[in-house]
A and B are shown apart, each in its own frame.
Chain A
Amino acid sequence: MRVTPNMSSQNALYNIQKNRAVLDKIQEQLASQQTINRPSDDPINTRYLLDMNDKFQAGTQYLSNLNKADTWLSFSETALTGMQEIMKQANSVVSAISGGSQDATELKNVASQLTELKKQLVDMGNTQYGDQYIFAGTDTNVPPFSVTGPPYDSATSNEATMDVEVRQNSNLTMNVLGKQILTADTAATQPYGNKNILSAMDSLITQLNSANPDFSVIRQNASDLEDGTEQITNAQSDVASKRKRVQTMVDLNTYNNNTLATLRDATLLADTYKLAIQQTSQQTALEATLSSTAKISQMSLLDYI
């Protein structure tokens, strides 16, 4: 094949351009530390990468949901522990007088203690997280309980649950329902028990304040309060098991996200050592092209005639 100087220079330019393009790509990957900087760099892996990103993002959102739900549940737990304490006090003052031998002053004293405890119980039932009443079902803007009754629960108090998503298509009910704990006798479902703690207390107070207390009623009410304590314990263990589930879900989502992050890094992140070696060899190629181009294009018959 006949070779002209123009061919040599054109080929040299073409090869220098190609070498430079490869070097530029390597340089970009080294600088960004990513093997994929735009979809066309690797369309198939881009698809996987975006999918992993979506899943990772979803996992992060579920973790945020779980975190908030757990705060809500810990508020519930604290309130229920408070209720439990109140019930213990109520039970102990009532057991002291249920023998039936106490004098009227003492009974009145117990009655006023019970009135105070009932008020505290109602306060606990009206615990707020932010501006939401956590025991109020979905009527979170209305205080669910009142000191006077019956009924002791608000007219709108409902038994609807608040569900949040904690994993794809998996819901967690984050609220426990005050109605099922304090005024369970009228609740539609009674998972913890069927006693109305507030009305039992009121009935006790009425008896103790009366001139002629009926001790059979008092004993019945005292037994109801014992059952009510049990009721609160049941609710506590429900919340505890919910928090346990939250913890499991947090672990699961965290593990999931860690796996996704590892996979994503493996797909996306550049192998610096490999790139450095590629760069060196590409640099050598470019230098060789440049040096040979410079040498060959200087040669001419003109130098010899």
Chain B
Amino acid sequence: MGIGATFQIGQAGLKIYQVATEVVSENIANVNTEGYSRQRVILETAPPTNHNGFPLGTGVKISAVERYYDSLLQQQLVNADSTSGHDSLKSQVLSQIEPAFNEIANDGIGASITNFFDAWQDLTLNPSGIPERQAVLTQGQILADTFHTVSTSLTDAQSAQDVSLTTVTADVSATLKDIAQLNGQIKTTELVSGNANELRDRRDLLVRNLSEQVGITYTENADGTTDVKALGGQALVTGDTYATMYTSVVAPATTNSVFVTAVGNPPAATNPATDTNITATVGGANNSKGEIGALLELRDTTIPYYLGKVNTLAAQIVSDVNALHVSTGGRPTYDLNGAAGGAFFDAAGTTAASINLDANVLGVGGTSKIAASLTTSRGDNSNALALAKLANTTDATLGATFSSYYDSLVSEVGLAVKSTENQASQSEAFVNQLTNLRESNSGVSLDEELTTLLQYQRSYQASAKLITTATEMLDIALGMVG
């Protein structure tokens, strides 16, 4: 070992600090890149050699370029994103439904019910009056119309969720393909040389994005790849193979079911007959995971529940009003002309969508078909009075008066909106907290990079100085020879 060794150490230093500076510049350049994890150069001493009986170092070498990555945090983020994706979508859709029930700001079903029975009250004071009868018909029509409006907005919201399923699954399939491709690239890159840090960062970001849309489980393999499974256990990505997730309407159902193909590169063409139907499991327990979970929950549970309640209310109003209005042997009712009372509401229309006045009272002279009397006397208001009193009668099926039942429903919707809003803001805060932790661990700090940069710059200068010093030493030695 001679002066040449100093040259070598100095040269290695120059080269290595140049690389280190490159890593710093990569960090600085990617300070705002989503999903980027900062990298660092791991330096170690080059293998020592024995010289004059002493083990002497041969300078510095780069052992690896590592990224700061916390796999536990990634796992937590994936879970939190699934919950947050579900909660925020559900909250968003529910607040779109809420206006249909906003009885405080607008007159909806509640006001129509009150106005309808108030019209019957007015009729008791002038049972043969045509204006009063017309008012009863008009309010009945408005009541039916209001039910139609609410029913339409609920079913529209329901089918919007169904349509969204198709979009989201298509998006999921594209992401699955990207993840599989990155898996393949990572595997080949890492076979040849070190860590494919940037590729891993991109893949991990895709996994997090995927988990927002659909609940997943994933495992990190020794070869650098990540396998992704649906919550039902179906493989979505295995190594560089991937599955296609898609929706299809399978009779007799009229709404979309979610299917997944077997993994492949590329996967086999979609075929609902042979592919796995994962509608029941893809959203996790109670459809609580991912946007797909929220879509399924809203479509199959939440909206049908409200629709069911509104339908029950409509059905009870139709049957209770008709029970008093239609003439029966035990309780004859009479219209203005002394004829037996017919149906007021169409008996076939027993949902919020189909409630309607009966053809009996809709036709010409319909006003006189309203059965206000229990005798043939035109001034007999006793049936109008009985109908007006329905407003305060507890319906056996509803267990409440019509208005009270509806008021409870409004309050129930309000409560659901409020609690999902709270859940959404909580899971958002949780994701925010985890993102902060991830950022704290993996994020780029410019101040830090600048400090490191200065440090490496000084080291580079020192290595150069080594070489000039060695040159001078060599000159001295050569001078001695000369």
Contact = CB atoms under 8 A, between A and B. Distances in A.
Contacts of A1: 440
Contact of B414 (A43, A54, A61, A160): A43
A65 B124 contact: yes
Interface stretch (A5-13, A89-97, A108-116, A241-249): A5-13
A69 B126 CA distance: 10
Contacts of B385: 163-165, 171
A290 B258 CA distance: 46
A10 B412 CA distance: 35
B377 A137 contact: yes
A2 interface: yes
Contacts of A137: 377, 379
A132 B379 contact: yes
A272 interface: no
A158 B377 contact: yes
A27 interface: no
B445 A3 contact: yes
B125 A164 contact: yes
B contact face: mostly helix, strand, loop, or mixed: helix
Contacts of B417: 38-40
Contacts of A46: 103-104, 410-411, 414
Task: Please tell me the size bucket of the interface on B.
Answer: 35 or more
Contact of A139 (B101, B379, B412): B379
Contact of B410 (A50, A163, A171, A300): A50
B444 A50 contact: no
Nearest to A60: B118
Contact of A40 (B128, B403, B414, B441): B414
A188 interface: no
Contacts of A5: 31, 445-447
B209 interface: no
Contacts of A16: none
Given A54-B404, A139-B379, A164-B385, 19 more contacts: A2-B441, A5-B446, A7-B439, A14-B432, A34-B104, A38-B98, A38-B414, A39-B102, A44-B411, A44-B415, A46-B410, A47-B411, A50-B403, A160-B380, A163-B124, A165-B124, A169-B389, A174-B125, A268-B104
15 contacts: A7-B440, A10-B435, A39-B414, A50-B110, A50-B403, A51-B404, A58-B392, A68-B126, A131-B128, A138-B381, A140-B127, A162-B380, A164-B121, A174-B125, A301-B451
Interface of A: 1-7, 10-11, 14, 34, 36-44, 46-47, 49-51, 53-54, 57-58, 61, 64-65, 68-69, 72, 130-132, 136-141, 156, 158, 160, 162-165, 168-169, 171, 174, 268, 300-302, 305
